[in-house]
Structure 1
Amino acid sequence: MAKVSKGDLDVYITPTTQDEVGGLTDSFNQMVQDLKQSQQAILEAEGKYRRIFENSKDMVYITSLEGKLVDVNQAGLEMLGYENQEELFKIGVRDIYVNSEDREKFMYQIAKQGFAKDFEAKLKRKVGLPIDVLITASVKKGPSGEIIGYEGIIKDISDRKRMEEELYQRTKELGTLYELSVLINQTLHLDKVLPLALERVLSLTGFEMGTIYLISNDREWLELKYHQNYPSHLADVVRRLKWGEGVVGSAAKRKEIVIFPIGEYPSPDILPNLIEENVKTLVGIPLLSKGEAIGAICLTSRFEHFPGQSDVHLFQSLGNQIGMVLENAKLFSSVEKAKSEWETTFDAVADLITIRDKDYRILRANKAAFRRYGLKPEEMIRKACYETLHHRAVPCNGCYVKEALTTEKPVSGQRESEYLDGVFQYYTYPVYDASGKVVGVVDLAREITEEKRLEKEKEVVNNINKILASTLDMRQVTKAIHAEFKKVLSSDRMTITLLDEVGSRFQYFALEKDYEREELTKDRSYPTEGTTLSKVVQTGQPVIAEDLFESEVWLDQRLFQEGIRSYLVFPLEYQSKIIGTVNFGSRDPRHFSERHFDVLRQIVPGMAISIQNALLLDEIRQSEGKYRTVIEGVHDGVAVIGTDFKFNYVNNRLSEILGYTKEELIGMDFRNTLTKESQQLVVDRYTQWVKKEEDTPYYEFDILRKDGKIRNIEIRNKELRDAEGHITFVALMSDITEKKKMEEQLLQAEKLRALGEMASGVAHDFNNALAAILGNTQLLLYSVQEEEMRESLKTIEKVAKDSAQTVKRLQEFTRKRARQELFKLDVNSIIRDVVEITKPKWKDEAQGKGIPIEMALHLGDVPNVAGNASEMREVITNVIFNAIEAMPRGGKIEIRTFKKGDSICIQIADSGVGMDEETRKKIFEPFFTTKPFSNTGLGLSMSYGIIKRFGGEIEVESSVGAGTTFTIIFPITKGGKKEKEADASIKIGKSLRVLVIDDEETVRRVLEKLLSQANHQVTVADDGEKGVQLFQEKEFDIVLTDLGMPGMSGWEVCQRIKEIKQTTPVGMITGWGMELSQDKMKQYGLDFILSKPFDFSQVVKVVSETIRPRS
């Protein structure tokens, strides 16, 4: 037993009895045997552990609680640079940490978690050099579970960190090189390139001082151009160095990087000044261009630097890059001398100007070039023109730049650019250096696309008019006409169809060439139903069929069989009626577009007249006896005039146009019916005819009617010779006065668009005010029970909503709204509403001034029209206000409604002062007013735009002293739906915590009351900062923020709210009336928009619908 207690297990006791003592003896022997086996297993485990411990490539260690190393393997000794364990064990673990803070963080982590994994730190080797390591360790416990020390593994990651650092440094260098390239290539000014280049080089290399030199023209000197951080006295010493002198002289002369410690500096005269400044290292970088030094950079440091091969490579790259830029700057120095004379005009020139070097790289471009090419400076400058502008790998065929560089002479010409989809006139001039060598070109491109198009269209229009004037039967010249059309349409076929009286059937009037299909031949009629022609008849507008491949229309199928893939159908309109169509076919799908409509609008009306004349000629040929009947029936005036200018014959229409009887006109000198200006025009035209000078057969002039009125006339002459050779002229005269008026109306519409550009400036303030009015009115509606008071409040509510719509329409005045939703409107009901709304103006206010105004309604039984109730009220209100202003002494306003054909008319007449013709023409112009200090001149112009959007017309009849009558004409609508009224009931839902942020107190209070009325808990803030602070302090279900606020904007508030709590819905309150970008809403996390002014139902609905999907 004594041996066992001392650890000697080689003991065996022989049992002497079979009793309990013998049993105990056996148990003792078994226990000793088990202990021996356990001890042997422990020894084997310790041996394996020791082998792993010693053979590990990473440092394995054990420390005491006091931080003393107890054990460490051979890898640990080698890692830390110690020869044996005894030497290492003499120092504490704390002493091998570079930063004591790392040790404290490491111990804190182990104390907190019981282990630390991949803890990154810096340790010191014996010689003091730092190494980067990863430490994984845990606590070491004794038999009783108490902590007796720490054990762990340390992995040397110095190589990995060094590679990471090198990779980072290389990436940084490349990035800096690229940044340097971009920055210094944006200018050719030496005074900007030099400081920029030196600053970037110092930043990249770590040197704190530097100079940059350029070689003189005689290559005898290096002249200091710029320095950074050099003391002034030292800069004076090195301001001018001889070729080969100093670091920069050596670098420039040897054309390679030179590195000098201060002890090896090559110029003794300068050395004392450098030593005085405690300079330790200097590096010279030659600036090379085309193999020759043009300057050098000197990097100077008060610290010792030991540049490696990678540093030298970097220096070389910097020198080459800067040298190339400096050379380019010198090449254009002559241009820079003249820059003061043309710099201000360079970017103002509308032509596209670029300067390119011999490698086709764009060195400079004006603003017009950047804008037309749609590229930014960094996308064009220093890029080859054929790659950037034409997307080619090599210069273009017939390139003017290439020709100018090759011939060294100016080149000019025209070229059509596929890239820019236009035609340009090019002028390319070589640029020479001082030695007369071509170093680049200046290229000027003047866009003549529109001029070419208009020139071609004008030529085509003139040619076709000549062709039409050459014959009275245009069927004889169909091919010639189409030959001209091909110049602008590139069409393959042209046909002309004529419609019957009701437009239900058509037949071909003229074919450029016969089709093979019998359904496409002349002298037969076919139904228009289902064909494109029926659409033209219904709409009066041209129609394009883009691809007939999938069309099931019989006519399209026949045309497809003839090889036609797309076509354009243009209406032939005569006397405001569609009489047929001109049709153009192409073998290519999607060949035609709306841009072709312009030229057709100039030609087709003349063709319609010619076709009509041809039809008339047919009738004349069929029956000479019907001659005068036909002539009398044409819409145009017809006259036969002799060479003495006297009328030999006039038809009834011409008699109507001129205001004389036919008897008065026969024998009258044609010139006596003209204004003085037109008389001279006619004489000049006749003189040209006598001299046989080429002239168009038609022109315009003004006639003076018998009643003194002036009308605009278009005349078309045809020379006729009888059997004896006597000459007379057949003249067709068209009254185009109404056409001119339509052109004036078009000009009027253009002027109206200018209004919209000024509208948004006042929208925000108006909408804030309207938000307060509308919100408080609706709150009163929910609390007031008295019916008379409620009716007054409803009127205020309706006016406020109408005012909001007016602000919106002011903003959208320039927009062409092709698809505005229109509703069925009862105009009589709207008129009664307007009369009631305007009653304070025409009755109460007028009576207060002693001006009696009577309002009389004569409302007929009229159908509904299509429109928008708010806008319709605005139109009628504006006309009524205009009538009130026109009756300063009082009078009577009569409003009538009645049906006229397929339209209904609203007629508003006053007994006021009336207006003259000049005023009547201008009343729909924006800002035109006869009372500039009391009116804006916008009401009638806005009304005009609204009426046009509803598909209506407005006519004005007035004369001075006889009052004014406005007649508004709308087409009758059969379909459509009624405008829905907002749900006035309060739907109390889940109570929400709402944060309202708005700098306008009235808006805040209205929203607070509206939302509180809907059972919500509302908190308000008067700016963005306070709102965000409240959101951080309290819990909110939804946030409403104004868009435009001083300080933090609505966008910033939205962004901050989403950063704090992503799931909280945020709505934007805006009084600007603009549509917010969906991309921007997504970027800032904006959930919805609440436009001012808002009504109760809108606010409650938006809030509840936004929260519902998240509940």
Structure 2
Amino acid sequence: MQVVEKEKLSKSRALALLRYTLIIATAYLLLVEHEFSSLPTGVFLLILAALASNVMMKRLPARITDSTAFYAGIVLADTLWITAALLISGLFRAEFFYLYFFVLLLAAIGENLALIAIGTVVVCASYAYILSATGDFPSLWTPRLLIRVPFLFTAAAFYGYLVERVRRERQRAREEAQTVERLQEIQGHLAERAREMERANQELANEIVERKRAEAALQAAKEYAETLIHSSLNMIVSVDANRNIVEFNRAAEEAFGYSKAEVLGEPVDLLYADPSEGSQVSSAILTQGRFSGEIGNRRNNGEIFYSYLSASVVRDANGNIVGGMGISRDITERKRAEESLRESNRRLEEALAELKATQQQVLQQERLRALGEMASGIAHDFNNALSPVVGFTEVLLDRPEYLDNKEKVTRYLKMVNTSAQDAANVVRRLREFYRNRDEEELLLPINLNDLVEQVIMLTQPRWKDQALASGVTLRVETDLQNVARVTGNESELREVLTNLILNAADAMAESGTITLRTRSDGTHVVLEVTDTGTGMTEEVRQRCLEPFFTTKGKRGTGLGLAMVYGIIRRHQGTLSIESEPGRGTTVIIRLPVHLEQGARARTHEAKTASRRWHLLVVDDEPALREVVTEYLAADGHHVETATNGREGLEKFLAGRFDVVVTDQGMPEMSGDQLAAAIKRVAPNTSVILLTGFGDIMKAAGDQPVDVDTILTKPVTVSAMRQALAKVMGE
């Protein structure tokens, strides 16, 4: 720094001395030209101004004096005041000014002071020669000429120095600029490196933070894992590659009775009841990678217990096996429970076998009892249905004079016929309880009031005559309103009323009244049967519709109300019972009103066939054979008969028949066999099968393949006509 300051100071002094020299040379030149007389005021002022500026220049700061603009200003200022002074003096001609400015030009374009000096010498010599040649200065040694040459040398030296200084300053400025540029470039590189270092430091700091965070998380995870291991209710044991224990959690300590410090480094076989089992487990883990199963363990006190073990190998980051880990739970209590359960199951199986044997005996006895009750019930209701038949026929036999009363006889015969048909329906009870209604069942619009009056008359022998014979007086009253017809099966509804009236009669051990009411209730007709009997408890009322449930002891079958309920259900109706002990019972039935458009009623009387057919009737019962023959012959059909299946087949093969009507159960050849033989010979011949089990066979879908239709005995004229029309396509 001091060297730089000294250099600047020497330059400033040199500039000042050169400028003083130039000012003195100019002043002396003017004095000489004026022959040392007083100078013009303007010239004098310019010289004083130049000297004053030279003094003031020393006080200027270095940042100004060192600038190129400062030197350019000095050059311009000195050129102006010197030129002005020369012009004011009026003693210099144009050639001198040319020479002066030429010297300035040489100083400006000269590369160094030596060349400027040489150029100045040449110019001055040329000037002197010109002056001498022109005669302006006859002698080269005149004072005026001699003073002009130093002036020009001084001006050339001063301006050359200034130009050199400017050139050097510019060079130095360029070098400094280059240096600054290089420094800036270096600073840029250093700044980039600093930023890179800063980024690297930041990344390193972040990495350090992340590593610390990861180490903390790893430590936390390790502590959490250790907490989980020691908090687990399952036993967790880990071993190294040599099968020595390296981890033993609290559950394992409690189960085995060892502390962790006691077993660390010990062989894992210490924990097995049988060490060979431990070897087998290890072998399975090594070969299969895992093991699951029950094992036997030994506690510290020698006690044996059982656990369920799930174990697997432990591998390092390279996949090498470094040990194994097992998780197990104590299943000793479970095994004891399983053993106890197996023993209980064995005892239960023995008890169940005994129970099944006992149940089989009870079921067999119950089947026999149920069969007896069913037979008893059928016999009971069959006798009820036969009572009017026997009663009215005995009346006619005992009173022959009644035969002359055609109206009475006709009425008795209708009742006998109705009772006989009701008796035939008794057999159908085997499928009556909860079956669905068949599409082909006969449904007719029924006047419920007429049906009530009819059933009262049919059951009169029971509720009146027998009751009087027992010393009991029963009355039947009616409250029948004008109600709409209902859609149904007349025989079934008659059976419902019959059962309800007879049950009501049985419920009154003493005299009482049975009341039958009908009324309308919107789209339904309501029928109520009320008695003044003993009534029922709530338990009996809840169970009275169950099959075989009865409170009559040996006198009852438990089938009546169950069949009533089934019939009402098939008629889309409802049945409810109101009863209290000592206050009698009321059975309430609701049946839908008959709708003409939607009813499924069919004409009760089937029309006779439009054509006359050749029929073969086969039955081993002469009376039945004669009745069927009479039915068909009365309609104009040609009928032949056979007494059994074999005779029927012979007659069929010997003649030509359109229809064969055959009984099912016959000696030598049954009706099924006869139908099959006929179909083999004449597949287009229709076969009608007569059987007392027709309803049961239809319900079970047991119609033989060679039979076209089944008729249930006893057969009516209408049923026969319908069957014949069906098989013949009429």
Q: TM (normalized to structure 1)?
A: 0.28
Structure ID, larger Rg:
2
Say which structure is richer in helix: 2
Say which structure is richer in strand: 1
